[in-house]
């Protein structure tokens, strides 16, 4: 009996020891290994708040502010802590419905019951003031300070871009971003995101049971301050930008102006444009949908993305390439034979500069024929593939058919067709007569407005250019940085002796009898230019490139007005002249002309259905002789 009681005692002791060990192990696990309960306790006493940095400011070339930040508040919620709140009062303060409240809470719960998420975003400080007084009564909710972008002059949307909430894909690609963060979506906001965004910080705050902040935890020992983003100093001239946008009101197209000596973009307009403030703040989503659904496509950046037939401005490039190839000389003349291709009435050009001035189609038909139908030194026979390969390489060295490395996103390349392009289209064979429409800037040649402006700068500089860019430097007043690639000169490799012939021809376009761009003339400024009227589905496009003054040029401009009847000399040329006058003289003296072109709405109306007239793809077949003849007047410039 005694042994039985003794053994039973050891069993009971063993059970208690085992239970004690289980509790000890569990306690060890909870306190040292598993921090779940510790985290839950902290969340009831501590609040971890992300400190968002201010994005860098953006200035124009003269120090005027283009973009600044305004303080807003995100209302955050931790669903598990939401208890016994007056829903009616809460909804009234936020100006939302009870259905909205339920929907937002369900979304927050789905994200996490314990982690904070955004309940209402970007509350303006004026609206937040009333809510702030009562916020402590709504357990589980707190405010987090943010900033949104503001645009004091409401211009340059195509350059500046906008910011929006980061998507899941970007979060996976770059762990810096978290759900609810904002990121540059377009313009320099996107291309300079890493410079502008700064570095996030964090703050740990003590909170009482009534959701009221009681101060910093351990005097800020664990806080990390946010680091503000760097400022951008743009190349844009604010006054010129506002003026150019006013000129393009009620029109579709683009204006790009460059300082030839630096490649700095002075103004950059895609029309129709929009007020960039529409894509900032709580109404951004609603406004974006309205803009995206607009048939005129204000969100489509025509200056960088639209690929157009260049029309007759391309004749300047044709002349330079032909002179450099040696297939023509300065004094080469051709008769204006309308049997080859349609043309307007003018004397036959006896030299290159006159052909540019009068924009003679048959002349450049013959020029392109000589460029393409060259003798291949390896075979001793005329070989169109050999000639086209030389022509393609020369055009690409002038910036056509390649993506310009401008510091803005979503640039397209245009199209300079090469032998592989035509081999694919015409597997049974092709020659000059298949592709001759390229001679006058039609056919398969497509350009982007930024390339047109850069080409004008290339001619102005007599053979070199610096890649166009919209930011001069970034940093602060004392320590500014620049990208070296935006000071490097690029040479076309066309002999320097040929450029003055092109310049003289472009001067004649504006100043001499028979010139097609007389309306671009600005007294005293020696403007050089070239008109183009580009064939298109619907009304033709009006095109003009120019620079001024002729010697030591200060500005190079491209203007493209979509579906504007009357040609390059009627619409694009006078608009370019006004831009040049505004920039160089700083005021426009020809107020009657200014008024006329600001108020004009020359563009053919867009169709009610089917959207925007397509200008972004090359034609699938070359223009026929019949079509060229029937559109002789529109092709002549």
578-623 pLDDT, tens digit each: 999 999 999 999 999 999 999 999 999 887 544 333 333 333 333 3
pLDDT for the residue numbered 282: 82
Beta bridge mates, 205? 47, 216
Helix 499-511 and helix 449-460, axial crossing angle in degrees, nearest 10: 110
Q: At residue 34, does pLDDT exceed 90?
A: no
Q: What would the mean pLDDT of 333-339 be, rounded to a whole number?
A: 94
In this structure, what are the phi and psi dihedrals at residue 33, rounded to the nearest 5 degrees? -90, -55
Contact 111/70 with Cβ under 8 angstroms? no
Mean pLDDT of 542-564: 97
Could you give the C-alpha distances from 19 to 26, 29, 33, 532, in angstroms and in order?
A: 11, 15, 20, 93
Does residue 35 surpass a pLDDT of 80?
A: no
Residue written as token pair 């803005």: 408
The number of beta carbons lying within 10 Å of the beta carbon of residue 623 is 20
Supply the mean pLDDT for the chain: 88
- Give the separation between CA 602 and CA 610, rounded to whole angstroms: 21
- Per-residue pLDDT, 606: 83
CB distance 302 to 271 below 8 Å: yes
**Torsion angles phi and psi, residue 608, rounded to 5:** -70, -30
Identify the CA nearest to 403 among candidates 448, 443, 442, 445: 448
Range with lowest mean pLDDT among 87-91, 192-196, 230-234: 87-91
46-51 β-sheet, strand order:
46-51, 201-207, 213-216
Q: What is the pTM of this model?
A: 0.85
Q: What percent of the chain has pLDDT over 70?
A: 87
Q: What beta strand segments (E) does 430-574 contain?
A: 464-466, 471-475, 480-481, 489-491, 528-534, 541-548, 555-561
Percent over 90 (pLDDT), the chain: 68
pLDDT over threshold 60, residue 42: no
Residues 6+ apart with CB under 8 A from 269: 158, 241, 244, 245, 248, 254, 255, 256, 303
């Amino acid at each position: 009996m005694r042994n039985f009681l003794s053994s039973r005692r050891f069993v009971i002791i063993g059970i208690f020891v085992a239970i004690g060990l289980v509790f000890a192990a569990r306690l060890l696990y909870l306190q040292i290994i598993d921090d779940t309960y510790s985290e839950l306790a902290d969340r009831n006493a501590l609040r971890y708040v992300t400190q968002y940095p201010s994005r860098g400011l953006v200035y124009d070339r003269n120090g005027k502010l283009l973009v600044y930040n305004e303080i807003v508040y995100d209302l955050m919620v931790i669903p598990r802590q939401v208890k016994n709140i007056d829903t009616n009062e809460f909804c009234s303060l936020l100006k939302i419905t009870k259905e909205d409240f339920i929907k937002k809470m369900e979304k927050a719960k789905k994200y996490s019951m314990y982690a904070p998420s955004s309940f209402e975003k970007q509350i303006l400080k004026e609206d937040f003031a009333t809510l702030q007084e009562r916020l402590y009564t709504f357990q589980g909710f707190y405010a987090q300070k943010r900033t949104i972008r503001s645009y004091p002059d409401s211009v340059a949307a195509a350059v500046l871009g906008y910011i929006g909430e980061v998507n899941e894909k970007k979060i996976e690609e770059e762990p810096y971003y978290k759900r609810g963060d904002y990121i540059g979506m377009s313009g320099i906001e996107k291309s300079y995101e890493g410079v502008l965004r700064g570095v996030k910080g964090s703050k740990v705050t003590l909170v009482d049971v009534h959701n009221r902040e009681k101060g910093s935890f351990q005097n800020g020992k664990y806080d990390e301050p946010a680091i503000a983003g760097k400022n951008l100093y743009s190349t844009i001239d604010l006054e010129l930008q506002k003026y150019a946008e006013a000129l393009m009101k009620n029109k579709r197209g683009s204006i790009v102006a460059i300082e030839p000596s630096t490649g700095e973009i002075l103004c950059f307009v895609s029309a129709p444009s929009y007020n960039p403030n529409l894509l900032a703040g709580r109404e951004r989503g609603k406004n974006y949908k309205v803009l995206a659904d607009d048939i005129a496509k204000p969100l489509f950046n025509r200056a960088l993305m639209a690929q157009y037939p260049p029309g007759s401005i391309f004749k300047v490039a044709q002349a330079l390439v032909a002179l450099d190839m040696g297939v023509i000389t300065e004094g080469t003349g051709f008769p204006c034979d309308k049997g080859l291709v349609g043309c307007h009435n003018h004397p036959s050009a006896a030299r290159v500069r006159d052909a540019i001035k009068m924009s003679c189609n048959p002349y450049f038909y013959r020029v392109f024929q000589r460029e393409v139908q060259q003798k291949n030194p390896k075979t001793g026979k005329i070989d169109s593939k050999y000639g086209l390969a030389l022509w393609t390489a020369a055009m690409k060295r002038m910036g056509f058919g390649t993506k310009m490395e401008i510091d803005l996103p979503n640039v397209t390349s245009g199209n300079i067709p090469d032998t592989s392009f035509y081999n694919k289209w015409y597997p049974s064979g092709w020659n000059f007569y298949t592709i001759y429409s390229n001679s006058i800037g039609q056919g398969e040649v497509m350009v982007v407005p930024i390339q047109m402006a850069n080409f004008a700068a290339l001619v102005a500089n007599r053979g070199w250019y610096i890649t166009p860019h919209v930011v001069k430097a970034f940093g602060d007043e004392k320590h500014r940085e620049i990208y070296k690639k935006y000071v490097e000169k690029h040479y076309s490799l066309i002999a320097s002796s040929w450029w003055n012939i092109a310049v003289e021809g472009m001067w004649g376009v504006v100043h001499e009898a028979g010139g097609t761009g007389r309306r671009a003339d600005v007294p005293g400024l020696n403007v050089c230019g070239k008109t183009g009227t580009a064939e298109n589905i619907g009304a033709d496009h009006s095109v003009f490139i120019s620079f001024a003054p002729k010697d030591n040029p200060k500005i190079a401009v491209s203007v493209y007005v979509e579906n504007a009847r009357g040609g390059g000399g009627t619409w694009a040329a006078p608009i370019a002249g006004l831009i040049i006058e505004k920039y160089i003289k700083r005021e426009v003296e020809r107020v009657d002309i200014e008024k006329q072109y600001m108020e004009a709405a020359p563009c053919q109306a867009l169709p009610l259905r089917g959207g925007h007239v397509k200008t972004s793809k090359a034609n699938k077949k070359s223009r026929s002789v019949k079509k060229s003849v029937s559109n002789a007047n529109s092709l002549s410039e």
